[in-house]
Chains A and B, each alone.
Chain A
Amino acid sequence: MKSLARFGTGLSRAATCSLARATTVRALATTATSVHTSSPSAEPVVTPPEGSTISLKSASRDESKFGTRPIYLDVQATSPTDPRVVDKMLEFYTGMYGNPHSSTHAYGWETDKEVEKAREYIAAGIKADPKEIIFTSGATESNNMAIKGVPRFYKKTKKHIITTQTEHKCVLDSARHMQDEGFDVTYLPVNEQGLISLDDLKNAIRKDTILVSVMAVNNEIGVIQPLKEIGQICRDNKIFFHTDAAQAYGKIDIDVNAMNIDLLSISSHKIYGPMGIGAIYIRRRPRVRLDPIITGGGQERGLRSGTLAPPLVAGFGEAARLMQTELEFDKAHITKLSEKLRAGLLSIPSTQLNGSHDPNSQYPGCVNISFAYIEGESLLMALKDIALSSGSACTSASLEPSYVLHALGADDALAHSSIRFGIGRFTTEAEIDYVINAINERVDFLRKMSPLWEMVQEGIDLDSIEWSGH
């Protein structure tokens, strides 16, 4: 008889999550001390029961003949800085150190020229005018600026904001702040693929609606919202349309004029640029006005005061330029690897792809898959040789499963068992082959340990069981 105490899902979420965090910390510690040296890989945290014949060790190869650093498949969190970007940035750290706002000497002029060049490259990526690009510290600041700034400016007559349930935390939190300031916020639901309904949007619009904020590409499931259609609805109703394009810029086609986008957030470190910089596009005609969050010397058209960081700006600009020149090459590579990964993982029984099945509404570089009867965290712990992120919000110290997957209608178990695979410019086919193989082995391993899986194999309907303690 199966002992119920062995039920993996009975394990408190708190215990699983803190364990996951501890693993991360330990993994980081290893990395920090291991630059220049090589260290033996740590013991896997998940161990088979005593006396078990199944093993986590790969049967197919000799681990000692390979390196220990994990494969990086978390490009939605951040992407490696392109060496061509680093090359550009080094000019500024080695000689071109002028303040771009110093207008009295050559040091200022040369830096200012580079800053404006970067602005042009960034604007070109969304077919905007360079004057409409304002540098910020990242997409979080850009989102804050749009969602707080625009409604605050028009607060005398407008009191309503529309956004979606699957936005990034920085949009949702800014929206909550605006509720505290007396604004009404509508959070649009999404369907099981993660897309909003245009009818819902039309129905949510009120006379005093000032802003609609809908993200372009979702960071967890990679679904692409119908920007053009949303933009048209907003323009027809004279409402400003903001989109968080942190995961979309340079990866999908965006034309701010054709799509009637009024404000758009960009993050540099998601496009192989440096961290700590981003931008917001703010339309000039018809003019979008907003209350700045940071005031002072009046830089960036008075919308974002403070001395610019030319090394970051130029690196960001180069990264944006490369996104355009490399677009086709990157797209072909990422699509190819994405198809291979999806085929290799979805062939595992009881797996499910989260996101849209329509290639026109799905960014291929973000593959989110649920592995039923396995906890995402346990799988991540068993996958220390691959840097991945689970759909759950463990990283933000919250123990709830992913709110994005919940919004799609996924139940707790499914939301907990999902993993996001991020494929980028520097991912190789060998890495994808390794990942497919590793996931197949480990899922099989974890399921063999799972009494739930055993019961499913025996044909027991899990929904028919009455769990004690409920």
Chain B
Amino acid sequence: MTTQREVLSLYKQLLNKAYKFDNYNFREYAKRKITHSFKTNKSVTDGESITQLYNAGIDSLAQLHRQATISGMFTFDKLVVEPLKKHH
């Protein structure tokens, strides 16, 4: 049985990883995709379906972790729409 707390924690972890993409387009897509998926499935109440979605989310988290890491290892110039971060 997947609890609401677990689902919420997964959502936060996924978004957290999404923000770690160095590539602007992949980062924005991941954020948009994650938010949309959780919104779409908000009304799911059946326990089995929730567990299924949760497990798929855990797989996505692992994949997101790998790909965000790779994105951080091969970086390119920032896009013209990306504000440059000020160095401290």
Interface residues of A (CB under 8 A from B): 31, 34-39, 64-72, 80, 83-84, 86-87, 90, 329, 333, 385-386, 425-428, 430-431, 434
Contact = CB atoms under 8 A, between A and B. Distances in A.
Nearest to B80: A385
Contact of B79 (A70, A84, A329, A333): A70
A361 B40 CA distance: 29
B71 A69 contact: no
Contacts of B74: 35
B1 interface: no
Given A35-B75, A72-B25, A428-B28, A66 B63 contact: no
Shortest beta-carbon contacts, A-B, top 7: A67-B78, A83-B67, A426-B25, A69-B77, A385-B80, A67-B82, A428-B28
18 contacts: A34-B76, A38-B77, A66-B84, A67-B78, A69-B78, A71-B80, A72-B25, A83-B63, A86-B67, A87-B66, A90-B66, A425-B29, A426-B26, A426-B28, A426-B29, A428-B25, A430-B28, A430-B81
A83 B25 contact: no
B36 interface: yes
A425 B32 CA distance: 11
A35 B82 CA distance: 16
A67 B26 contact: no
Given A66-B83, A83-B71, A329 B78 contact: no
Contacts of A72: 25
Nearest to A68: B77
Contacts of A36: 75-76
A212 to B, nearest CB: 38
Contacts of A385: 80
Given A329-B36, A426-B25, A67 B67 contact: no
Contacts of A90: 66
A324 B67 CA distance: 21
A386 B79 CA distance: 10
B70 interface: yes
Given A69-B76, A426-B25, 15 more contacts: A31-B77, A35-B74, A35-B75, A37-B77, A67-B84, A70-B79, A70-B80, A80-B25, A80-B26, A83-B70, A87-B66, A425-B29, A428-B28, A431-B79, A431-B81
B12 interface: no
A38 B33 contact: no
Interface in B43-82: 63, 66-67, 70-71, 74-82
A271 to B, nearest CB: 15
A49 B26 CA distance: 40
Nearest to B36: A329
A334 to B, nearest CB: 12
A39 B77 CA distance: 8
Given A35-B76, A87-B63, A426-B26, A66 B81 contact: yes
A333 B33 CA distance: 11
A434 B75 contact: no
A67 B63 contact: no
A431 B32 CA distance: 15
Nearest to B32: A333
Contacts of B82: 66-67
B5 to A, nearest CB: 27
B22 to A, nearest CB: 11
A34 B80 contact: no
Contact of A66 (B21, B75, B80): B80
A34 B77 CA distance: 7
